[in-house]
Structure 1
Amino acid sequence: MRTYVLSMVVCVLLPRFELAVAAGGREALAAAPLALAPEIGREPLIGETSAAAEAHGVRAGLRLGEALARCPTLRLVTPDPAGVADAWETVVSALEGIGAAVETDRPGMAWFEEQGLRGLHGGSVESVISTTRRALVGGESRTGAGARVGAAPSRFAALAAAHRARARRPEIAPEKPAGLAAYLAPLPVSLLSSRGEVAALPEAFERFGIATLGELAKLSRAALADRFGNPGLLARDLALGRDTPLRPRVPTERLQEILELPEAALGQQLERALGMLIDRVLARPERRGRTVRAVVLSAALVGGGTWRSQLTFREALADPRRMRLALGGRLSELPAPADSLRLRVEAFGPPNGDQRSLLAEPAAIRRARLREAVRQTRAAAGPDAALRILAVDPDSRVPERRLALAPWEP
């Protein structure tokens, strides 16, 4: 009789990852109460906080004035989004180096299924976790040192196990559904805040007196659907250990170019620097004639810290003029003068085979681009994302009868 082994999901959790990178290492987190300063030009809300700051009641999302009132000795750390992205890419690459297909939606949290790795790394989930921990602390940067590793049959349960784990003691949740639900039952509902679809629900649950996942799981589906809709049903499934399958990213090679800027470069100097970066990236032999689908434009700021902006083009392209038009507007978002600019290719498209007609009219080209824009908009926001207004009964005294909405087709 053939035996099937249940696949487990491994979660790698690096708490306060963004703060640790910006502060220069995890050792700095224990020195004093720390918090990420608000980004320049945005709402004055602090970011991640250290354990010492949390002991004074300072939490991420507090307004700067309230945080300083609660902890006068709070030290603010300049955000470093570009450094965080680079450091997290090192961690994810280390996991992919052992053969893992990694899903990650934010720095500090990653998941992968371990069943396909058992034959490579010892034949058990424990051996896969041991290999994972060695890969994270290897290398010169040791970016993954201090990671918590948990394993469970689903994504959310693996994250809960990682929260209960310690740097030197991984946590493995029960495999059977009944045992998994009992394992999750005493945990706080605040764990749901790590999931974007249900991040707003923990506060509402706590107001209703629902403090643990076990109390949430005891509620009926009908009651949750009536009060919270689909997010409430998803929260209940997560509390019971059910979750959607992983969506691992596709590993791709990344090209980048860096250009040092003259002091206080502004306006046309920045635009010329951007044009040089685009030309250099497109001239790299590693591109091999492929188009570019997504890029990241980042800068090291004069006063410290970094700035980062990601852009996915409407269609994959290799035209430097169109790339400059798309990226030029992002330069106006720079919060301060920059010391250097960096352009990195995040995703490639197919080889450049956009052979338009020699006599193609501008109107035809515009209609084709409009059709593609409508298709992508509807794919992202639903079939009602692009509508047109039709005059049905212009002379009617009832305003609702005069006009109607219908699908728009270019």
Structure 2
Amino acid sequence: MQRRVACMWFPRLASDRALRLRPLDGPFALTIRESNTNRIHCLNHAAEREGLHAGMPLADARSFCPEVLSAEADPEGDTRFLHALRRWATRYCPWVGLEGKDGLVLDVTGSTHLWGGEAGMLTDMRQRLLRTGLSVRLGIGDTRGAAWALARHSEGRAAPGAPLAALTFLPASSLRIPAETAMALQQLGLHTIGDLAKAPRAPLTRRFGPELLLRLDQALGQQPEQITPLEEPPHYGVRISLPDPIGLTADVMALTERLLRRLCETLKTHETGARSLCLTLRRVDGGSQQVELRLAAAMRDPSRILPLFERGVGEVDAGFGIDQMRIEATQVEPLPVQQLSHSAAVQTGQIEDLITRVGTRIGLENIQRFVPADSHIPERAFHSVPAAWSSPESGWSAPRPRPLRLFPPEPIAGSGTEPPRSFRWRRIAMETDRAIGPERIAPEWWLEDEAWRSGLRDYWHVQTRQGRRLWLFHTPQNPGWFVHGEFA
């Protein structure tokens, strides 16, 4: 069977995707910033008719066409969209791969008859894509190189077994060679693929290297070229159908354990861990109930995950019985295998399990933990963040000891630059027994902070005779004494 390869080229993929979301009439261009200049990344047909082209500075484009509308390009979104098109293209054949950043390549050998032949397949492709607002150019030939050249320079189909006849009059640049090589070939008078095929091979190899003739041989079918389809993303879901309905909590938990073991094997194979799980229980009356579980850390240990389902499963209304169960990891994160040694501490995950249990009742976002921040101001030296999406910091560093409790500065009576020997704080008489300091802290002048408008602060660690260990500071620029915290 003669091998046949089809190529889809989307010349305006980025702009077509943007206009599908927000249609408009008139010239339109997407821009991307390069070397401190906004340049045109992709543009629609109306902008091309005005003489604009990709790579053109946006300022120059507006001078040629003042009515052009522009928006910022999203290359990552375009990549995701192309991957979605690749999944859609598997309706024509199972072997579909990416061809650069704006094309697809399909090995349609043996599948064209399902569409009434090659012409019928190309017509169906074009009509479906045009209905969705996408510009496309199609080519089909015996080789990947021939299909690529036809899609970009001729848009047609090469007869089986005769690739050179269809490619003879196409420019040499259609061989997927660098622009510099194509320009050099034109200077030598080799303008088309036919001219290149007739030229002596040895001088071409000495001047341009083996890549030029390799591309030529691939296009003509004299050298093989594979089409590698992208690997389908792993599916993290398992289910089980029951011959007889069940309704007891113990039975549901037993089957949940079986499903979890199968799911965790898949997670381990791909070195990932689940952060969110959904257990779906289908009843015999056609209804279904779901038990969602959000984990405080990525996990793939069924013995740790199973007890966390007990509360949700206990609240399920089984009705007349459950005849199907399905569990799916709706959110996963990388969880590579870690090397264990006799010196490494074993992480049991008890904190994460506790956070998960409490989070199912009050919400994971409401469980906070303190993490250090890059600031020498005491009030700004930490942040409060959700514990489920952060890790405990072991390197809390401070030039001097900091109090366990911080509160808004509370004024006390005192004078001079050293801590008062006696003072009243919170209606309690205090006497200074020992004082350590001062530690001068300057305000962050680049930030507006009403609490630090008094200027510099000289902090003292004061041990009182009453047993309280306080953190006092003096403001030399606006004399006064304040209590800012208390040590444990």
TM-score by length of 2: 0.45
Please state if 1:247 is matched with 2:228.
yes
Q: Distance in 2 between matches of 1:40 and 1:286?
A: 45
1:72-120 Cα deviation digits (max 9, x unpaired): 444333212243233222211111244421110434311111124357x
Q: Distance in 1 between matches of 2:271 and 2:36?
A: 30
1:331-350 Cα deviation digits (max 9, x unpaired): xxxxxxxxxxxx998xx99x
Please state if 1:180 is matched with 2:163.
yes
Residues 39-118 of structure 1 mapped to structure 2, 5 A cutoff: 39=33, 44-118=38-112
* One of 141, 144, 147 as aligned partner of 1:158: 147
Q: Distance in 2 between matches of 1:172 and 1:112?
A: 14
RMSD of aligned residue pairs (Cα, Å): 4.1
Q: Distance in 2 between matches of 1:24 and 1:65?
A: 25
Report % sequence identity.
27
- The residue type paired with residue 356 of structure 1 is Q
CA shift, 1:42, in A, is 6.1
Q: Distance in 2 between matches of 1:109 and 1:47?
A: 16
Gap change, CA 1:286 and 1:44, over 3 Å in 2: farther
1:207-256 Cα deviation digits (max 9, x unpaired): 4444322223332222222221123223433564656222222222479x
Uncovered stretches (5+) of structure 1, i.e. residues with no partner = 256-283, 294-318, 321-342, 363-410
Gap change, CA 1:135 and 1:22, over 3 Å in 2: closer
Q: Distance in 2 between matches of 1:289 and 1:86?
A: 26
Bigger Rg, structure 1 or 2: 2
CA shift, 1:353, in A, is 7.8
Equivalent in the alignment of 1:357: 340
Whether the aligned pair in 2 keeps the contact of 1:39 and 1:79 (CA below 8 Å) is no
* One of 203, 206, 215 as aligned partner of 1:223: 203
1:42-97 Cα deviation digits (max 9, x unpaired): 65432123344444543322344444455444433321224323322221111124
Question: The residue matched to 1:35 in structure 2 has which SS?
Answer: strand
Gap change, CA 1:147 and 1:206, over 3 Å in 2: same
- The residue type paired with residue 250 of structure 1 is E
- The residue type paired with residue 72 of structure 2 is T
Whether the aligned pair in 2 keeps the contact of 1:36 and 1:78 (CA below 8 Å) is yes
Whether the aligned pair in 1 keeps the contact of 2:205 and 2:213 (CA below 8 Å) is yes
CA shift, 1:292, in A, is 5.3
* One of 213, 216, 234 as aligned partner of 2:193: 213
Q: Which structure: greater strand fraction?
A: 2
CA shift, 1:180, in A, is 1.8
Gap change, CA 1:286 and 1:353, over 3 Å in 2: closer
Q: Distance in 2 between matches of 1:19 and 1:159?
A: 22
Equivalent in the alignment of 2:8: 12
Gap change, CA 1:100 and 1:62, over 3 Å in 2: same
Uncovered stretches (5+) of structure 2, i.e. residues with no partner = 237-262, 273-296, 299-329, 346-488
Question: Number of paired residues?
Answer: 264
1:273-330 Cα deviation digits (max 9, x unpaired): xxxxxxxxxxx9897344459xxxxxxxxxxxxxxxxxxxxxxxxx97xxxxxxxxxx
CA shift, 1:127, in A, is 5.0
CA shift, 1:12, in A, is 1.7
CA shift, 1:183, in A, is 1.4
Gap change, CA 1:153 and 1:44, over 3 Å in 2: same
- The residue type paired with residue 231 of structure 2 is V
Looking at both structures, which has the greater relative contact order when contacts are Cα pairs under 8 Å and sequence separation is at least 6?
Answer: 1
Question: The residue matched to 2:33 in structure 1 has which SS?
Answer: coil
Question: The residue matched to 2:212 in structure 1 has which SS?
Answer: helix
Whether the aligned pair in 2 keeps the contact of 1:90 and 1:143 (CA below 8 Å) is no
Q: Distance in 2 between matches of 1:353 and 1:292?
A: 5
Q: Distance in 1 between matches of 2:141 and 2:331?
A: 35
Question: The residue matched to 1:103 in structure 2 has which SS?
Answer: strand
Q: Distance in 2 between matches of 1:240 and 1:26?
A: 43
Q: Distance in 2 between matches of 1:85 and 1:118?
A: 28
Equivalent in the alignment of 1:401: none
Equivalent in the alignment of 2:267: 288
TM-score by length of 1: 0.52
Question: The residue matched to 1:223 in structure 2 has which SS?
Answer: helix
Whether the aligned pair in 1 keeps the contact of 2:5 and 2:144 (CA below 8 Å) is yes
1:377-396 Cα deviation digits (max 9, x unpaired): xxxxxxxxxxxxxxxxxxxx
Q: Distance in 2 between matches of 1:241 and 1:27?
A: 43
Gap change, CA 1:77 and 1:126, over 3 Å in 2: same
